[in-house]
Each structure stands twice: as structure tokens, then as C-alpha cells.
Amino acid sequence: MDSSSDTYLRKDKPEILHSCFHGKMYKDSLTSYSNSSIISQLLRKTIQNKKALKESFLYLPATALPSSYTADSSQVNWSCSSFKEGMYLTKQHSMAAGSEEDPPHNEHHQAKRARVENIIRGMGGSPKARPHHEWEISGTSVKGSREEKWMQMSHTLEGGCMPRRTSSIKDEERHSLRQQLQNMQRLLKHLQERFLQIDNLNSEFERKTRHDQELLEVLKHELSRAVSRSVDLVFKNFSSAISNRHPRLLAGLDCNSELSGSPEPSLGADVITAQSAEFTKGADMQNPEDQTEALPLVIRNPHSVRPCPMNQVLKQPHDMTQLPLQFKQNVPFQNEILENLLKYGPHDDLRVPLQRILPTDTSSPQILDLPWSSSKACSKLSSSHIDTEATETQPASLGQERMEAACFSQVKLEHGNLQGVVERNPYLSLNISFKDTEEGLTPNHLKKAKLMFFYTRYPSSSVLKSFFPDVKFNRCITSQLIKWFSNFREFYYIQMEKFARQAILDGSGSTRDLSVTRDSELFRALNTHYNKANDFQVPERFLEVAEVTLKEFFNAILQAKDKDPSWKKAIYKVICKLDGDVPDYFKSFACS
DNA sequence: TGGGTGCCTG
DNA sequence: CAGGCACCCA
């Protein structure tokens, strides 16, 4: 055997081995295979040595062959690389020498080739079974490389390079080749898996990098929300537990629900007043003279936990027969829930109703006489003037005109001087009773009005007055309440007209096709508007009225009555007759 | 004339 | 939702 060829084989073997097994893996080995300069080099060397090789393979005894080419299966550590290398070289050889091959050998070689190809096919290395993309590297198809190797192998066998001295040698050779092929198969499979792993990791990594910022933002957001919720929940549960175990302990709690932890009333009251003063001071930071535009009539609830005048709730017996069956929650005191809904709707930031903190044990007069209004006082923050309406004995008429004049000012403070009194005389707060009525309408009044709309679309002012007992009515307040209902109706009728027209467009020919159920899109639109939190069970009657309204609009539009500018009035007449009574329990809910 | 209503607009 | 306006009605 030519020494140069031997040298070549041995010299390059470790490098190829390395690429094949550690190859940084697959890509390196692939690159080496696709490297044209290496191929050219190999080809050149191979051609140069073809004669020597030919002679070696054809005429030398098997023992004289390089170890890589012996049929000894124990040497199948032989590595894919040496195998490939050998195959490659022999293929080059056979290709180069093909034209010189003796004709008598052709038949035999073809038969052999067919057998080997069968073996190769039978080894299940179907390239189709693998995704194409994993083979495409640097424009060179790995699949192609592999097929090329298969071809190399076939050509090796057909190339007449193997000695044909004895049948045993051929058997051994065949056996060896099978094993080599199997090893190759395993190695390829291994490499494919590794490549897939790496590929997946890289994809994954890119995707993660791309969405890193977004994820960060989302995580931050979710974290803050979760923390906020958790704090709410913990505080709520804690408050509830405390109230159950130590009702009296909390009797002196202020509007901020600060747990003094001390049963000493004076201490509790001190905490209250100190905080009230601080709170009020902070709220007054904004100079009312800075106001440049009209303030909304609705007094916005500060974000403090604002206790309501709970006198009615706590003092009145819980008449179970008057419970609103519409409420979904099956808890003992449903009216309390409505009150909570009105005061701390699910969308409010703070949902720790004081009645959860405060005991519901009505046996305690101390509790019943809690200074609700003093708590109220500290939550009425945006006052620009300081009125002293400390007690019921204060003439209500005193502020009547002024209140009407200040109707558009959202503020009023009943503490002020009183607060000083309370601060100086903490015990006094326990017995001071403010008036129960409010001069302004709050968001909770608005919520309540919206819920009332499910029963009545056209409430008279007298109805309104009777259902908002905690509101001190004046012309302005009445107008505002009436205006609210007017706005409610406006939205209601707009929706009705919209859906009626849509039904006509959709091809409904008869009102029989129309219905309003809780699943209806129309109902959802209305419910979202009047019962956003969806925590109030809308009465069935409302659905009926809504359906009638929808049908009225539908018919009117169908009959082209909408050409008349006042075509809706006829519908209004019909609908106003469908008003029902507002349940009495609405009267009980103070929502200041 | 005041109260109530609806429409339009912001 | 609120303000403004026009309109209707008792």
C-alpha cells in the first residue's frame, strides 16, 4: 500500500472523528463535508493514488489491508469517520477508475450493488422521514451528503475494490458492512437528535429574547395586581376575623379602618382624630380657588374606606321576608350586600366595607351609636368651606339656600370646627350624631339609581325622594336625579333602536323572531351599562319590558314611522306604562 | 311659571 | 354623565 495514502488516512482520521462525534457538532462535520477545498484535495490525492489503491484492494491479501478495511467487527469502533473516509476515498477511486473497470466484473458488481442498496433501504434511513429543514445548512444539503455517502458505499462495493478471493471473506465483509451501516445509522440518528435539540434551543432562545421585554412588563403588571389583591384579601379576612372575635375592639376604628389594637376608647379616638386631621389636611391641599371649570354634581368618593350611615342597617331588624330574592349571593343579610355593592362596587379600589370590620351584633348600644357621621366627616374632603353642622339640632334651613347655591360644588364638610371638638374630646365622638342625609349625590347613589332603573324607567320625583332618604333633596339634586334617569332612558332607547334596526337588516320579518333573554346581546349591553359589575340579578320583568320596547321599535321602523321626527314618542308612551314598583328594600340602602 | 322631558353636544 | 336648550303641560 502506498505510504502516502496510508499517511493520509491516518493523519486526517482524528480530525474527522472529532468533527463527527464532538463536532460542535453536526454543523462542523457538515461543513467539513461541504468544504470544496477539502473535497478537491481529497480527490486530487485519491486520483494520484488510485492505482496503488486498486492494486492493494484487488491483489493484496486481506491481512495486508489497513485495519479500517478489514472485516473484523471488533474494530467497529471505527467510527463513522473512518468509515466515511474509507467510503469516500474508495468512491473517488471507483469513480475515477470506473471507466477502466474490466467488463467481466460489471455483472457481479451490479448484483452486489443491488443487494447493498436493498440493505441500505431496509435500514430505514429514509430521508423523507426527516424534516428537510434540519438538513439544510449553508446551502449544502445534508441530506444530499448522506445520500452521497450511501452512494459512496454502494460504489465502493461495486467498485471492485474488495477482494473476491473467498466466499468467507465476502460474508465477513458483508457482515462487517452491515454492522458498519447500523453504526452509521445510530450515529446519524444521534446527531440528528442533538441537532434537533440545539435547533430547538436556538429557536426558543430567539423567541424568548424577542418577548423578554413584553414578558417583563406583563410580569410586573401581574405581580402588582396580585399583590394588591392579596393585600385586599388578607386585610378583608383579617378584619372579618377580628370583628367576629373582638367586636368591641373595633368600635373606635376610624374611617381608615386603622386597627389600633387597643381596647382603650380614648386611644382609638385619638388615632381617629389625628388621622382625620391629617387626611383632611392632605385633601385640602388643593385650593378650591384653583377650580377653573364646573365640578360634577356627583361627589366622588375618596379612596378611603368610607363608612356609610349604617344606622338603618344596624338598627333595623333584619327582616328576612323583605330580602331581595334577586341577589345571587345566598348570605344572611342581603341588604347588607346591596349596600356593599353600592358602596364598594367590585371595581372600587378598596373593598373593605366597614360592616365587615364592625360587629353586626346589635345588642351593643355602644356599637349602634357609633359616630358614623364622624367617620363620614373625615371622608368628605374636598370642601372649600367649613360648615359646622354638627348635630341634628343645627337648623337645616341654615344651609338650605347656601347648599343650593353651592349645588355645583361637589364639596361639603360637616366637620371642621367639629373636628376640633372631637379631637379635644374623644369620648364626645361616641355620642355625636350627625344628620343622616346627604346634600350631594355620590357614585353610590348613581349605582343605586341604575339598579332602580331595572324596575322603573320614569320614576316620579316623589318616588325618587322616597327611595333616596339619605339625600337632602333640593331643586338641584332632584333635577340631577331626574336627569340621571333621563340619561338612562336615552341609552336604553338608543340600544333598542340599534338592535331593532339590526334585526331588520338581519332579515327578521316579524316580531316573533325577537326576544330578549339574559343571553341576548341587547341584554348584555344594557346590563353592562346599568349593572356593570353584574352583581345584581336583573328582574325578569325588565327583560319583558325590554322585549316589548324592542318590538315597538322594530314595528315602528318596519312601518317607516321613523320618518316622523317625533316617532319615538308613541313608543315612550307605551313603555312608561310598563313601569313597575321599586322594591321597598331599596329605600333602606343608604349610599352616601 | 315651574316641572318634566327629549335631543344634542361635549 | 352633565349642560344647554326647546318644548309641553298643568
pLDDT tens-digit map of A521-575: 999 999 999 998 888 999 999 999 999 999 999 999 999 988 888 899 999 999 9
Average pLDDT over residues A397-403: 36
Q: Measure A412 CA to B7 C1' (Å).
A: 33
Burial (CB count within 10 angstroms: exposed 0-12, middle 13-18, buried 19+), residue A139: exposed
CA distance A406 to A150: 96
In a domain, A516, yes or no: yes
The residue lying closest to nucleotide B3, measuring its CA against C1', is: A479
CA distance A412 to A416: 10
Give whole-number Cα distances, A482 to A142, A186, A441, A460, A475, in Å: 80, 84, 12, 8, 10
Global pTM value: 0.39
The residue lying closest to nucleotide B7, measuring its CA against C1', is: A490
Average pLDDT over residues A226-253: 49
**pLDDT at residue A279, rounded to an integer:** 30
How would residue A170 be classed by pLDDT, with cut points 50, 70 and 90? confident
In a domain, A548, yes or no: yes
What domain count does chain A have? 1
**pLDDT at residue A186, rounded to an integer:** 83
Give whole-number Cα distances, A134 to A129, A149, A187, A196, in Å: 11, 18, 16, 7
**pLDDT at residue A193, rounded to an integer:** 78
For the stretch A316-375, pLDDT in tens is: 222 322 333 333 333 333 455 555 555 544 433 323 232 332 222 222 322 222 222 222
- The grid coordinates listed for A426 are 374623644
Q: Measure A162 CA to B8 C1' (Å).
A: 101
In a domain, A481, yes or no: yes
- The grid coordinates listed for A91 are 468512491
Q: Measure A460 CA to B10 C1' (Å).
A: 28
Nucleotides of chain B within 7 Å of a protein C-beta? 3-8
**pLDDT at residue A172, rounded to an integer:** 81
Highest mean pLDDT among A131-145, A153-167, A198-212, A534-548: A534-548
Interface residues 539-568 of A with strand B (CB < 7 Å): 566, 568
A566 CA: nearest nucleotide by C1': B6
A573 CA: nearest nucleotide by C1': B5
**pLDDT at residue A47, rounded to an integer:** 41
Q: Measure A24 CA to C2 C1' (Å).
A: 72
The answer to whether residue A117 scores a pLDDT higher than 90 is no
Collapsed DSSP state (helix, strand, coil) of residue A566: coil
A478 CA: nearest nucleotide by C1': B3
A569: domain range?
443-587
The answer to whether residue A278 scores a pLDDT higher than 70 is no
CATH code for the domain of A506: 1.10.10.500
Average pLDDT over residues A430-459: 76
A484 CA: nearest nucleotide by C1': C1
Average pLDDT over residues A515-525: 94
Collapsed DSSP state (helix, strand, coil) of residue A211: coil
Answer for A494: CB within 7 Å of strand B.
no
Percent of chain A with pLDDT over 70: 30
Q: Among A21-35, A221-235, A574-588, whose mean pLDDT is lowest?
A: A21-35
Q: What is the dihedral of CA A41, A43, A47, A48, to 10 degrees?
A: 10
Give whole-number Cα distances, A238 to A246, A301, A314, A446, in Å: 12, 24, 21, 30
Q: Are A469 and A590 in contact (CB under 8 A)?
A: yes
Q: What is the largest CA-CA distance in chain A?
A: 132
In a domain, A116, yes or no: no
> Phi and psi dihedrals of A295, rounded to 5?
-90, 150
In a domain, A477, yes or no: yes
